[in-house]
Structure 1
Amino acid sequence: MPHVPTEAEQRALRRSPWKQVPKFDSVPSGRLQLKIERDGSHTVDLGRQSYRYERNSDSWSDEKKKPLERRLRVIARAIKEGVVDDADALEREKQRRTEEYEAYERERAAERRAWEVVRERARAKALLIQREMIFARTFESWQGAQELRDFARQLEAEATAKGLIEARPRLQEWLEWARTRADEIDPIVTLQHLDDGVFDAEPSADDLRPHMEGWDPSEPHKDYSIGRGGPHGEQTRQSTQPRAWHPGMRDQPSWWRR
């Protein structure tokens, strides 16, 4: 029914026109009403207002020629049918969620299998590059040691021919230092660069990334660091450049002379 403001509400409105009063009042109609909430309900209180949420509810009320008490059988049948429908709907929802979860798990398993295949190929490529680099550095060390020894031998021969060895003790110290240094960097003498741990060293994620075909090297998902201008993207571009190494590297100076 339309709300009729009381005298107190009218005085309050004159003092504070922005205040609000109800527009309607709930007045009992005199008719019976029956409400069934099969899944219950809950109310959300928002201060001045509250909202009531219901699930699977039905209601009946008196009609002019059909009062509520004369329709109890129909109501009971409707309630029973509603309960059965609720159970069927719940079972269908469970089945749907189960099927979605199984499909999701199958998709994840297929994705992981594909990722493992790519990662194994990337590991083989990264191991090859890693071993080539280690062997190249070892080769350069051996080459540098040979060059140092040759240089020291020629220097000593020239100094001996000119009679400078006895007159210049510092020169003899330089020759001894060169031969000692050659032994330190010679992998044939130390074998420190070709031990089993170095040969079987597991490639890091950054070593694998250039060969992962867009996959993340650590988890079976796409690598979002590629193409954003970050260090991984830059490293990927640099790592995919062709390697200029070959045995001997005659066109490049040995590392110890750089």
Structure 2
Amino acid sequence: MRRWDALNERQLAVLNRIGTSTDSVTAKNSDLANTVYALRNRGLVKTPRRDGVWRAEITEAGRFYLENGYHPDHPDRAVEMVDGSLPRATRGVTVDHGTSPQVLVKDLMERLKRDGGTLRLNNPDEQTRASYRRLIHAAKRRGLVPAGFHLRHTGRDRGDMVILLTNDSQPETNWNRVRLGTRKETSDPRMMVSLLEEERNRIRVSPGLMPRVKALLEGLSIQAERRGYKLIMSLKRTPVTFYLQKHEQRWTLTVSEVMEDVPQEPTAEERRRRSNGWSRPTEYGSVPTGRLRMELQQSGFAERTQWVDNGRTQVESKVREVIKELEHRVNAAEQARLKRERELQEMRAAEERKEAERLTMWETAMTAARECALEDRRRDTLGNALQDWFAAAELHEFCEALEKAAANMDSPEEAANLRQWVVWGQSMARQLDPTISPGGLASIRFDAEPEADDLRPYLGDWSPHGPYQEYRYQRLEPPAAAQARREPWRLGRPVRGQWWRR
């Protein structure tokens, strides 16, 4: 069952009776209870309790239904009802009659973005709540909310109304905090006073001071609103807790009566317990003094935290000082924040300079190590190829000598065996010769990039993978070729190439 679905005949008859008839509907009409609950779930009636018995009362939405024949939240009628239904004094979106819903939603979105994504209406009336609900519903139904954003609201029927524009990147806990916090708090001074009068135990003051507490809350709320702050009262705590809030910052405010410790005579029961030796009677008792006290939460930037009645002035005249103290704290906190940001930026700039210097040193070391590693590899490769070439030449010469020896042998069997050795030796000579071997010098890239292990002996403590140092169990020394590079390269036939040992 949807909220805006049409009422059946019984529900419509009961709604007519509640709204127009003098015959009231209460908990004593048990046969109508289920119907009343169904109407209440749709927001058409409310059931406040008096002396433990609820009494059905029609709401603005219920009167609207009786006059127009449909629910004010009906989606098919929402767009038609948005224009002109927002009271100019409370809507916060300036429009003219005849403005399209797209323009209304665009104005609402611009205000939400300007206010940091949050629009708060302090205890609006029923008509304003319904108008904003229809506007939000029209925005969602027509797809006018920007892609990736969600339009949410709380306080649809009581308390402050908060409209929140969130995106997918924001955690769900932000919305839960706003939603639950709005239901547990109020910023309406009239509601604060009404709750305090109904439940005197919520605030620790004498009954005679309640008129002054009322004047104090009203004056503090007016001064706070003028300077961009808001007075909030918690609905869930006893004793009551007040807050002064601006944007996301809030400070706890306590209003109480000054108590004075005075000597008191022990009672007969206390004397009896004292005679038993296991109890000590209370020598002092706290009595009210009739003086009010305001205490503001401690802060590292606080100049003053307490205001108390004295012989000449009362705390009601100090509300401006409280707001000035908050402004001082906000300004001091902002200056401290800017100072921390400057220090953080300086630290980051210094760290970036160090990183740049470290990167430059690493790149210089890498360039030098790459040159050394390439030079050593080329020397080793060319030197090994030269030795293979000498070995191949000697092997060819040796095979020719064996061929001559086989030609001069008397035994055909020995000559044939020797020629087999000659054939195998000539094939080995061709494999060793870098000028004709498939895997010779031509297959080795001249500009092949050295690997990390080739670079490490020339990098000291630097890592070949990045501008940071590596821990090495044993320091790597450059290969012998690096030492030989300091001396001229001696060309010519080296000692006999022991190719068979490779």
> TM exceeds 0.5?
yes
Q: Tell me if 1:237 matches 2:237.
A: no
For 1:247 and 1:29, how far apart are their aligned partners in 2?
A: 112
Give the secondary structure class of the aligned counterpart of 2:436. helix
Map of 1:187 onto structure 2: 434
Q: Identity over aligned residues, as a percent? A: 25
Q: Which amino acid aligns with 2:455?
A: L
For 2:397 and 2:350, how far apart are their aligned partners in 1?
A: 70
Confirm or deny: 8 A CA contact 1:122 1:208 kept in the other structure.
yes
Quote how far apart the aligned CAs of 1:202 are. 0.6
Q: Tell me if 1:250 matches 2:494.
A: yes
Map of 1:62 onto structure 2: 308
Quote how far apart the aligned CAs of 1:76 are. 2.1
Runs of 5+ unmatched residues, structure 1: 2-26, 38-53
Quote how far apart the aligned CAs of 1:68 are. 3.7
For 2:414 and 2:353, how far apart are their aligned partners in 1?
A: 84
Quote how far apart the aligned CAs of 1:59 are. 3.1
Q: Tell me if 1:34 matches 2:274.
A: no
Q: Which amino acid aligns with 1:34?
A: E
Larger Rg: 2
For 2:407 and 2:463, how far apart are their aligned partners in 1?
A: 63
Tell me how large the CA RMSD over aligned residues is: 3.1
Map of 1:119 onto structure 2: 366
Quote how far apart the aligned CAs of 1:97 are. 1.3
For 2:408 and 2:367, how far apart are their aligned partners in 1?
A: 61
Query: 1:75/1:103 Cα in 2 relative to 1: closer, same or farther (>3 Å)?
Result: same
Q: Which amino acid aligns with 1:69?
A: E
For 1:29 and 1:221, how far apart are their aligned partners in 2?
A: 71
For 2:287 and 2:450, how far apart are their aligned partners in 1?
A: 81
For 1:76 and 1:255, how far apart are their aligned partners in 2?
A: 95
For 1:252 and 1:59, how far apart are their aligned partners in 2?
A: 98
- Once the two structures are superposed, residues 60-85 of structure 1 have per-residue CA deviations (whole angstroms, 9 ceiling, x without a partner) of 25366565434333222221111111
Give the secondary structure class of the aligned counterpart of 1:220. strand
For 2:427 and 2:287, how far apart are their aligned partners in 1?
A: 111
Map of 1:134 onto structure 2: 381
Query: 1:134/1:81 Cα in 2 relative to 1: closer, same or farther (>3 Å)?
Result: same
Query: 1:145/1:164 Cα in 2 relative to 1: closer, same or farther (>3 Å)?
Result: farther
Map of 2:320 onto structure 1: 73
The structure whose residues are more often helix, as a share, is 1
Map of 2:400 onto structure 1: 153
Confirm or deny: 8 A CA contact 1:165 1:172 kept in the other structure.
no
93-102 or 175-184: bigger deviation: 93-102
- Once the two structures are superposed, residues 154-212 of structure 1 have per-residue CA deviations (whole angstroms, 9 ceiling, x without a partner) of 12212322344565322211111111111111111126332365211111111111111
Superposition pairs for residues 194-209 of structure 1, below 5 Å? 194-195=441-442, 197-209=444-456
Query: 1:127/1:222 Cα in 2 relative to 1: closer, same or farther (>3 Å)?
Result: same
For 2:321 and 2:315, how far apart are their aligned partners in 1?
A: 10
Higher RCO (CA-CA < 8 Å; seq separation 6+): 1
Confirm or deny: 8 A CA contact 1:144 1:256 kept in the other structure.
no
Quote how far apart the aligned CAs of 1:132 are. 0.6
Confirm or deny: 8 A CA contact 1:141 1:187 kept in the other structure.
yes
Query: 1:141/1:125 Cα in 2 relative to 1: closer, same or farther (>3 Å)?
Result: same
For 1:205 and 1:193, how far apart are their aligned partners in 2?
A: 24
For 2:409 and 2:287, how far apart are their aligned partners in 1?
A: 131
97-106 or 139-148: bigger deviation: 97-106
Confirm or deny: 8 A CA contact 1:134 1:193 kept in the other structure.
no
Query: 1:71/1:166 Cα in 2 relative to 1: closer, same or farther (>3 Å)?
Result: same
Confirm or deny: 8 A CA contact 1:136 1:247 kept in the other structure.
no
Confirm or deny: 8 A CA contact 1:165 1:171 kept in the other structure.
no
Confirm or deny: 8 A CA contact 2:409 2:415 kept in the other structure.
no
Query: 1:99/1:182 Cα in 2 relative to 1: closer, same or farther (>3 Å)?
Result: same
For 2:409 and 2:358, how far apart are their aligned partners in 1?
A: 75
Q: Which amino acid aligns with 2:308?
A: D
Confirm or deny: 8 A CA contact 1:131 1:199 kept in the other structure.
yes
Give the secondary structure class of the aligned counterpart of 1:221. strand
Give the secondary structure class of the aligned counterpart of 1:32. strand
Give the secondary structure class of the aligned counterpart of 2:348. helix
64-73 or 142-151: bigger deviation: 64-73
Give the secondary structure class of the aligned counterpart of 1:199. coil
Question: What TM-score do the two structures reach when normalised by structure 1?
Answer: 0.68
Quote how far apart the aligned CAs of 1:32 are. 3.1
Give the secondary structure class of the aligned counterpart of 2:467. coil
Query: 1:114/1:36 Cα in 2 relative to 1: closer, same or farther (>3 Å)?
Result: same
Quote how far apart the aligned CAs of 1:257 are. 4.0
Q: Which amino acid aligns with 2:355?
A: R
28-37 or 180-189: bigger deviation: 28-37
- Once the two structures are superposed, residues 77-113 of structure 1 have per-residue CA deviations (whole angstroms, 9 ceiling, x without a partner) of 2211111111111112112212221221122112111
Confirm or deny: 8 A CA contact 2:390 2:493 kept in the other structure.
no
Give the secondary structure class of the aligned counterpart of 1:250. coil
Confirm or deny: 8 A CA contact 1:35 1:60 kept in the other structure.
yes
